[in-house]
Amino acid sequence: MTTPAISIIPLPRSIEFDGNSRFELPCAPTITGGLPVSALACKQLSKDTGRQWQIADASAPATVLLTRIEETGLGREGYDLDVTDDGITIRASADAGLFYGIQTLGQLCFPNEEGALPHLRIKDSPRFTWRGMHLDVSRHFFNREFVRRYIDLLARHKLNVFHWHLTDDDGWRIELDCFPDLTERTAWRGKNEALPPSYDTGDERYGGYYSKREISDIIEYAAARNVMIVPEIDVPGHCKPVTVCYPELLCEGEISSFKSVQDVSENLLCAGRDETFAFLAEVIKEVAALFPSPYIHMGGDERPEGPWEQCPLCAHRIEAEGLENIDALQGYFMERVRTLVADQGKTMVGWNEITHGEKVDQSAIVTAWQDPEKGIEAARAGYSVIMAPAQHTYFDLAQRDDPSEPGLRWAGVVTLAKAYEWEPIPDPELAKRVLGIQGCLWSETLVDEARADYMAFPRLCALAEVAWTPAGRQSFLDFKERLVPAHMSRLDLAGVIEHGSV
Ligand SMILES: [Zn+2]
C-alpha cells in the first residue's frame, strides 16, 4: 500500500493502481469552479504544490473535475478519486467528501518531485463519524491565528470536530454579552489582576479572549473545512473566573481550605443555590446562539471534594430532592445543566464523571478520558461515547520516557506507538455506542505555540488514522513509513513550528 509517491495519512479505505502509467500535472492546473469548495481547493493546492492552480474556464476541460453525485455509497464524508490520462476526478455526494478528496489530492501532489501522479483509483470514507481534537486555551491562551492554523491542520488530517475548552480556572476566554465581567476581569491573570499568576506566566498581565465576532469568524473558517466546533463551558468545578466575578455563587461555610486537583480553591459552583442554574441558563443560551453545533460540552470533571459536603444549601438540596449522597448531587447538577442545554435544542456532552450518581439522561454524550474502562462503563450504561483515553490520546503527556522530555506523566508516557496502537471499540457489542475518538491538548505545559505544536505532532497524525482508517488496514510500521519523510515535510509546509521525534 506504500510507494514513495503514495504516502497518504490517514490511509484511505482502498487504493487501486492502474499499471505504471502517470498523469503529468500541468504548470497551471485547473479545477472545476462553482462549488463551495472550489476556491478553497485552488488556494490550498497552490500553496501546497508551488503551482498556480486556477478555476477552470467553462469552455475547457479541467485538470481536476469535482463532481457532486447523488449517491456514492460512501456517506457524506466519503469520496472517490480517479487519476487517468484525462486528468483527475473527485466524486462525492456532499461538499465534505469533495473537501476530503482535495486533501488526499494535496498529499498526492506534495511531496512529489516528478510532478506526475500514478494512475489510480481511491475509494475512501471514515471509520468514525466523530473525529475530534481538543485544545485548552485557558491555562495558556492561543490567539485566533493559532486557532485557525490548528483547525486547518485538523482538517488536513480529516478530523472533523474541534473541542474548544474555553473556560477554566486560569482564564475565561469567551466574550458573553450577558456577563461581560467574565472577560473584562478574568480573561487576565497576574500580580495585579483578578486572577493570580499561574503556570509560569509570571506577575505580568497575561491572557486574552475571543470576541463574539472573532468566534463567528473562526466557526465559519472551520465550517468551510468540514470542522464542527464544540464549545466547552466547564462546570461545576474549574470555575474560578465565575466565582471571582460572582462570589455569591459559592457554597456557604469555610470553604477556602478545599483545593482542586490543580490546587485551586473556591472554584466550585454551589449546587444548592438556584442562582447557579439561573446564571448557567443565561450562559448556555448565549453560547447556544453563537455556535451552530448541535452539541455543547459542559465539563463535569474533577469536582473538588469539600465545599458541597459541608454546605448547608447543598445539604438542603440533597434533602429536598431525595438524593442519596454527594455523587447523586453531582448527577443532579449535571442533569439540570443538561436540561438547560436541551432547552436550547442542543445535546450536552460531558466528561465521564457526568455518569456519577446515575442521574444524567442517556441522551447526553460522554467523553471518556480517564481510561478505556470508563468509556466501556458509560456505553454499557446506555450513553453514546467519545473515546479519549488519556493513555492514548492525551498529547499533553510526555511522548518519550526521557526525563528531559516535556509533558505531564500522570497517565504514563504516550509514545507515537501508543497513540496509534489501540482499539477504540474494545467490545463489538458496544460498537453502536462509540461515536468516535478524540485527542486532547491540555495546556498546563504549553508555554508557547512551538511547544503546542511539538506536543500535538506527529501524535495527531496517528490519532487521525485511528479515527479514519478501517481497523484491519492499520499498521504502525506502514504508518511510520508514510510519516517519514513525506508527511513530516507536509507538516513543515503547513507551518508546524516544531514536532516530536518519531
Ligand atoms: Zn453549596
Distance CA 328, CA 338 (A): 15
Does residue 322 have a pLDDT over 50?
yes
Domains 14-124 and 130-468+477-493 share a fold: no
Q: Known catalytic residue: 168? A: yes
Percentage of the chain lying above the pLDDT 70 cut: 99
> Which grid cell sits at 87?
486528468
Q: Looking at 134, 140, 163, 238, which residue is catalytic?
A: 238
| For residues 380-386, average pLDDT | 97
Q: What is the pLDDT of residue 20?
A: 85
Does residue 251 have a pLDDT over 70?
yes
CB 167 within 8 A of CB 272: no
CA of 251 to the centre of ligand 1 (A): 4
Q: What is the pLDDT of residue 2?
A: 44
Q: What is the mean pLDDT of the chain?
A: 96
Lowest average pLDDT, out of 17-26, 287-296, 407-416, goes to 17-26
Distance CA 45, CA 110 (A): 9
Does residue 1 have a pLDDT over 70?
no
> Which grid cell sits at 323?
438524593
Q: Please give the class, per CATH, of domain 130-468+477-493.
A: alpha beta
The C-alpha angle with vertex 3 and arms to 51 and 80, in degrees rounded to 5, equals 65
CA of 316 to the centre of ligand 1 (A): 9
CA of 179 to the centre of ligand 1 (A): 22
CA of 333 to the centre of ligand 1 (A): 11
Does residue 59 have a pLDDT over 90?
no
Phi, psi for residue 189 in degrees, rounded to 5? -140, 160
> Which grid cell sits at 92?
462525492
CA of 382 to the centre of ligand 1 (A): 30
What are 427-444's pLDDT values in tens digits? Answer: 999 999 999 999 999 999
Q: Looking at 95, 124, 168, 396, which residue is catalytic?
A: 168
CA of 343 to the centre of ligand 1 (A): 24
CB 75 within 8 A of CB 98: no
CA of 302 to the centre of ligand 1 (A): 16
Does residue 373 have a pLDDT over 90?
yes
CA of 283 to the centre of ligand 1 (A): 20
CB 307 within 8 A of CB 358: no
Three-state SS sequence of 164-192: EECEECCEECECCCCCCHHHHHHCEECCC
CB 75 within 8 A of CB 69: no
What are the boundaries of each domain within the chain?
14-124, 130-468+477-493
| For residues 250-266, average pLDDT | 96
What are 408-425's pLDDT values in tens digits? Answer: 999 999 999 999 999 999
Q: Please give the class, per CATH, of domain 14-124.
A: alpha beta
Q: Looking at 181, 282, 302, 309, which residue is catalytic?
A: 302
CA of 317 to the centre of ligand 1 (A): 9
- Taking each continuous run of H as one helix and of E as one strand, the counts in the chain are 17, 19
| For residues 224-252, average pLDDT | 98
What are 117-141's pLDDT values in tens digits? Answer: 999 999 999 999 999 999 999 999 9
Residue holding cell 486532547? Answer: 440
CA of 309 to the centre of ligand 1 (A): 8
Q: What is the pLDDT of residue 5?
A: 55
Q: What is the largest CA-CA distance in the chain?
A: 78
CA of 311 to the centre of ligand 1 (A): 5
Omega of the bond leading into 10 within 30 degrees of 0 (cis): yes
501 pLDDT band, cuts 50/70/90, is confident
CA of 364 to the centre of ligand 1 (A): 24
CA of 247 to the centre of ligand 1 (A): 12
| For residues 271-280, average pLDDT | 98
CB 238 within 8 A of CB 169: yes
Q: Known catalytic residue: 204? A: no
CA of 279 to the centre of ligand 1 (A): 15
CA of 269 to the centre of ligand 1 (A): 7
| For residues 272-291, average pLDDT | 98
Q: Read off the pTM.
A: 0.97
Q: What is the pLDDT of residue 4?
A: 45
Residue holding cell 468509556? Answer: 375
Q: Known catalytic residue: 238? A: yes
What are 138-186's pLDDT values in tens digits? Answer: 999 999 999 999 999 999 999 999 999 999 999 999 999 999 999 999 9
CA of 65 to the centre of ligand 1 (A): 62
Percentage of the chain lying above the pLDDT 90 cut: 95
